[in-house]
Amino acid sequence: MQALREAEAELTVYVHPSNAADVRRAVARQLSTTLFSYEDRFDGVLLAHEVIVDGGQAKILNGLVPFFGVLVHANLLLYSPQPDMILEGKVELLGKESIHAIVLGVFSAAIMSDDINERFKFKRRGDRGKFISRSDKHHVIRKGSMIRFSVKRVDTEMNCHITGSLIPPHTGSMHWLSIHDAEYTSEINSHIRRSGNIRIKIEQNEQDHRTLDNEDGVISSERPHKSRKRALEE
Amino acid sequence: MGAELRPDDMEVEEEGVSDSQAFRFVEHVLQSVRMDPVLVDLKDKDQYDSLLKIVDSSKKRSFDDEALLVPTLKALSEAVSKIDITYHHELLSNIFTMTLWYMQRDTRDALLELITRLAAVADQFLRECLQMLVNNFTPPGPLTAFIGQPRWHARKKEIYSQLHESLRVISDTIPLAPRMLKDIIDRSMPKLFDNKAKTISFVECILGLDNDRMGDLIGSLLLAKVVDLLTELDVNITWEDILQEEHHKGIFDMELEDLDDDEDSLGQEGTKALFGGNACAEKLDGLMVVFCEHLKACSEHGRLLKEFDILKTIFRTSVLTVHKSKFAQFIVFYACSLDPEICGIEFSLFLTDIFIKKEEDLLSRMSAVSYVGSYLSRARFISADTVVAVLKRLVDWCVDYCDLQNNKGIITKPINHQIFYASCQAVMYILCFRLRSIMDYPNLKSQLFNMPFGYILTHPLEPLKVCLPVIVDEFLRQAKAARLFNASMSSAFEDALESDLSRTFGGIDRLDMFFPFDPYLLKESDRYIRPNFEFWSRVKTTYSNYNSDCDDELADIDAPEMNVGSLDDHVEIDLNSDDDLEYSINKMSITPHHSFFHQTMMNSGTGLTMPAKIRPSVSPPS
């Protein structure tokens, strides 16, 4: 899937002396605190990490709390959806107004009626209902269906909550697409995997950033200050 | 669809207008004001205003209003994509400030449906939706006074289950929502000074949430929050309150009066007098009931083990080292009593492990050993062989410690060996309670008799002189009666108590005095603890079986130093001596606070005022 990306990163992880007994664990734990939440520095959500501690040396930080900076080489798996990417998800909730899908079992995506109505018609049946394509009545989306949709907007503050659209071509029920959509079929067959490599250098603290920032200006000046809001419009 | 939105127009069902028409109408109203306020047509504005009036959180709704509200809410949830945070701000704030507690069931359903829909649209609404649900965990202010009444009971249950259901649906559609919910609950937790009804409702609700599937996701956090609250309340019940009451009794005879009293009245009246008017104690009492009920429900549904694992971790981080905590630790006690075979034994091993592990910090280790001592003594559901197994580990550790000191060759001040003394004291304390019952099993008895007590107790570190005299005395008395030591060793112990060292050991924290599972003094929740709690008054001692068994070997019980009153000789208080005040307070047995209390009294310049009703305690029935 397009939004998944592997990255290699050179990190400096600041470890509190109390965790010095097991540095590897301390580093892993610190990285794990960022799991499943959007990080500006990674430009995405961290899904998994594999850490290689470089050498046995670490630099002790000046200041009241003597953290030591451990140089780490990490392989990261990131989820970073961008507008116009095609994602796949499972429909969890569905109504006249919207389709709510879950991507990778964790991230939520909503497709609102404006982005559905052009191609699909809602048909209510009791409490439940389904969307039926206006062009082909066999093309149906119901609760539990796997769908492909394009990303319209990403809200990074909400852990990459996606607003999607079913209007672009090659979107809809994956089951139907696998039979009727030539491009998707060829994509499945060729197993294209895209992965980007980026090298990012970031600073990471073992303890709360803010305490350090107050006591030691060095860290704060090195940290990139970016706005967290990155709602990317089409 | 240009009709004005008036109540008579909205009564769609009655006029036979279909739902979908009404839905389309609301959608139209929403759409028509979705632009700069200046541009909105006046007629549309009117319609929107009347919509606001229907969805009004502040006013009291009549039956008709409510009937109108239901289809409106339904229509809104069909039109969520039209709702815009900037143009429909007022409408949203009305929705988010609504309270479920006065509504009929249908209305609640409709409102919650709308909330779950809004949450799923996410971008902006998720946080507000969750906050709104969490706000409804507690009844609104005016209602809190009546919430305890039975007629509200069923309704409360119903509302809670609806809230839980909505939260479940939200977490289904937005898998990461529980993370946000965690923050929100964290911030909305009742504070120390919130009233009792509110605190209890909130805790009841989040424990209910823990039972739900949500428990898998954030259960440990919810429990941790509740335990934190319990501990916080607990440490705010001060010993000053208690010291002014009649409970100036030694470790062992603390409960003797209970025996004299009518058993039932003790729990009620004694504690009522004790904590009358203490708001923290009352709240804690209520919460303990809720928590114990929760654990009971867990055990009935077979989830106790999972819950216990979480509880253990929480206990380790937020209860173990809180020495001022007096009652909060009883939740673990209760959990253990629900499943003595697994949880009960696991807890004793867990504590022993903490004690023995060198990596743990000193404070935790000392607390852990105090806990072991108190737990094994007081927990009736723990079998004698578990006790012996744990004792063996403790004694082995003590032996190693003594060996180590022998190799070092220098004996320093007691303060440097706190942990050793604490463990010796724990061993003696356990034996005071358990020695007699262990004696009933020949195999355990022989195991016990093989333990090198003599080596430890006669070691140059002189634990007998440092540990709490009451315990040492009682222990020696029982040990002699049971012939735990051989004769030559016994004589070595005789002058053991004539030392002031015990008062020098401990310092401000007085960890030597920490007995976490001392008798439980909260009124309501006492019924959960009492059946499994070993009271000193009911303990059979080795010397008390003299009459029944007519054992010749116990004849020396009549020896002068072992007379029946010997325990109380040390409990008698000389009211004229400052030192003895501290001594007597120490014997209250739950402790680190005492020295502090003592100090503040000294510092405050008022001099030593004797607690009003202090008096020598009663003799144990022989």
CB within 8 A of B343, min separation 6: which ones?
B304, B305, B308, B335, B336
User: Chain B: nearest CA to A232, how far in angstroms?
Assistant: 13
Token pair for B252: 């062992």
Residue A39 contacts residue A46 (beta carbons within 8 Å):
yes
Reported pTM: 0.74
CB within 8 A of B251, min separation 6: which ones?
B468, B470, B471, B515, B518, B536, B587, B589
Identity at A145, one-letter amino acid code: S
Question: Please, which contacts does A35-38 make with residues 24 or more away whose CB atoms are closer than 8 Å?
Answer: A36/A106, A36/A159, A36/B176, A36/B179, A37/A159, A37/B179, A38/A156, A38/A157, A38/A159, A38/A160, A38/A228
Q: CA B440, B446, B449: angle at the middle one, nearest 5?
A: 105
Among A112-121, A180-189, B529-538, the range scoring the smallest mean pLDDT is: A180-189
Q: Is the pLDDT of residue B429 over 50?
A: yes
The DSSP secondary structure of A16-55, one letter per residue, reads -GGGGGGHHHHHHHHHHTTBTSEETTTTEEEEEEEEEEEE
Among A22-26, B194-198, B288-292, B588-592, the range scoring the smallest mean pLDDT is: B588-592
Among A106-110, B70-74, B129-133, B236-240, the range scoring the smallest mean pLDDT is: B236-240
* Binary contact (B121, A155; C-beta < 8 A): no
Q: Is the pLDDT of residue B426 over 50?
A: yes
Residues of chain A whose beta carbon is less than 8 angstroms from a beta carbon of chain B are 21, 36-37, 92-93, 95-98, 100, 102, 105-108, 110, 112-114, 155, 158-159, 161, 163
Confidence of residue B376 (pLDDT cuts 50, 70, 90): very high
Which pLDDT belongs to residue A124?
Answer: 83
Which pLDDT belongs to residue B162?
Answer: 92
The interface pTM score, or ipTM, of the predicted complex is 0.73
Residue B343 contacts residue B331 (beta carbons within 8 Å):
no
Distance between CA atoms of residues B116 and B101, nearest Å: 18
Local structure of residue B532 (DSSP, 8 states): G
Q: Which of B122, B173, B175 sits opposite A158 (nearest CB)?
A: B122
Residue B251 contacts residue B589 (beta carbons within 8 Å):
yes
Which pLDDT belongs to residue B525?
Answer: 86
What are the residue ranges spanned by the domains of chain B? 1-98, 328-572
The DSSP secondary structure of A134-195, one letter per residue, reads SS-TT-EE-TT-EEEEEEEEEEGGGTSEEEEES-STT-EEHHHHHHH-HHHHHHHHHT----
| Residues forming a β-bridge with A150 | A86, A165
* Binary contact (B123, A97; C-beta < 8 A): no
Torsion of CA B538, B542, B544, B548, to 10 degrees: 110
Which pLDDT belongs to residue A178?
Answer: 86
Query: Would you identify the CATH topology of the domain A86-190?
Result: OB fold (Dihydrolipoamide Acetyltransferase, E2P) (2.40.50)
pLDDT digits (tens, 9 = 90+) for A92-117: 888 888 888 999 888 888 898 888 88
Residue A219 contacts residue A45 (beta carbons within 8 Å):
no
User: Chain B: nearest CA to A141, how far in angstroms?
Assistant: 16
* Domain A4-80+198-222 bears CATH identifier 1.10.357: no
Helix and strand element counts for chain A (H, E): 5, 14
User: Chain B: nearest CA to A76, how far in angstroms?
Assistant: 20
Q: Rounded to whole angstroms, what are the CA distances from B610 to A43, B2, B599, B606?
A: 67, 84, 14, 11
Confidence of residue A89 (pLDDT cuts 50, 70, 90): very high
pLDDT digits (tens, 9 = 90+) for A144-170: 999 999 999 888 777 778 889 998 888
Instruction: Look at A171 and B596; give whichever has higher pLDDT.
Output: A171
| Residues forming a β-bridge with A38 | A45
SS3 A14: strand
What are the residue ranges spanned by the domains of chain A? 4-80+198-222, 86-190
* Alpha-helix runs per DSSP H in B194-327: 196-211, 214-235, 239-243, 256-260, 263-265, 271-275, 279-300, 304-314
Among A199-203, A219-223, B336-340, the range scoring the smallest mean pLDDT is: A219-223
Backbone angles phi, psi at B358, to 5 degrees: -75, -25
Residue B515 contacts residue B373 (beta carbons within 8 Å):
yes
> How far is residue B178 CA from its own chain's centroid?
24
Instruction: Look at B621 and A64; give whichever has higher pLDDT.
Output: A64
Distance between CA atoms of residues B480 and A129, nearest Å: 82
| Residues forming a β-bridge with A98 | A112
Alpha-carbon torsion (A25, A30, A34, A40), positive or negative = negative
Residues of chain B positioned with their CB less than 8 A from the CB of A97? 78-81, 117
Q: Is the pLDDT of residue B82 over 50?
A: yes
